[in-house]
Amino acid sequence: MQDTSTSRQLTTLLAKHGFALEYSEGNAYADEDMSYWARFFDGALTPAMQRYVGLRAREQATRFSEDARLQISWDELAGRAVRWEQFTDSYPDFSWKDAPRFWYNTYLSTYLTGMDNSTIFSDSGTLEPEVRTSYERLVAQYPRTRTAQLVAQCLTLLKQNGYRRSAAIDSLLREHHLVSMLGVQPPIR
């Protein structure tokens, strides 16, 4: 994790082949550099694959999580979920269907359940005000998306229960195949 000649050499070598040296929780690992691949295959990819690589490159530029803590705003997280919903709607025959679904479910699950170090409920058990504001903003900004419709349902159930988590919320999330991100370390980028 130190800036040494060895780490610089490794970084250079990885970059030449489309990878980046990343650090997380005291460990180094190689990760694909989607910006590299977007440039490398520019013009040779289908429109769907160009859009996919472009979205991932944009997201990789800003770390999503670290040590189960959100590194972007709740609104940006909502935006990522909506973008992946729109992607899957725009490209229903995309050959890598599982990848956009993974990102959509990861972002939406995180948005609706939080992470260990970025919880959506306060210590007293009520929905954090900034999360509630983000939910309301998402519903107003993207009312026709499935994401906003689900968040609106969650807000209704939360309001009915004094903005506290309930079995009804858990049931709704299960119904939509969303899992809690508590106890999970999602991808960092």
So where are the chain's domains?
Answer: 1-32, 34-62, 74-183
List, as one string, the DSSP characters of 53-96.
Answer: HHHHHHHHTS--EETTEE-S-HHHHHHHHHHHHHHHHH-TT-TT
Torsion of CA 44, 48, 53, 58, to 10 degrees: 130
Torsion of CA 85, 73, 106, 164, to 10 degrees: -100
- SS3 string, 95-107, reads CCCHHHHHHHHHH
Q: Please give the Cα distance from 170 to 175 (Å, whole number).
A: 9
The pair of three-digit structure tokens given for residue 114, joined into one six-digit string: 């939080």
Torsion of CA 37, 101, 103, 85, to 10 degrees: 100
Q: Which H or E element spans position 19?
A: strand 19-24
What is the predicted pLDDT for the residue at 41? 81
Residues 6+ apart with CB under 8 A from 182: 113, 114, 115, 116, 119
Per-residue pLDDT of the chain (189 residues; tens, 9 = 90+): 567 787 788 778 777 877 877 766 667 767 777 777 778 888 888 999 999 999 999 998 888 898 889 999 999 999 999 999 999 999 999 999 999 999 999 999 999 999 999 999 999 999 999 999 999 999 999 999 999 999 999 999 999 999 999 999 999 999 999 999 998 877 776
φ, ψ at 2 (rounded to 5°): -90, 155
What is the predicted pLDDT for the residue at 121? 97
Residues 15, 33 contacting (CB under 8 angstroms) = yes
What is the predicted pLDDT for the residue at 189? 66
What is the predicted pLDDT for the residue at 34? 78
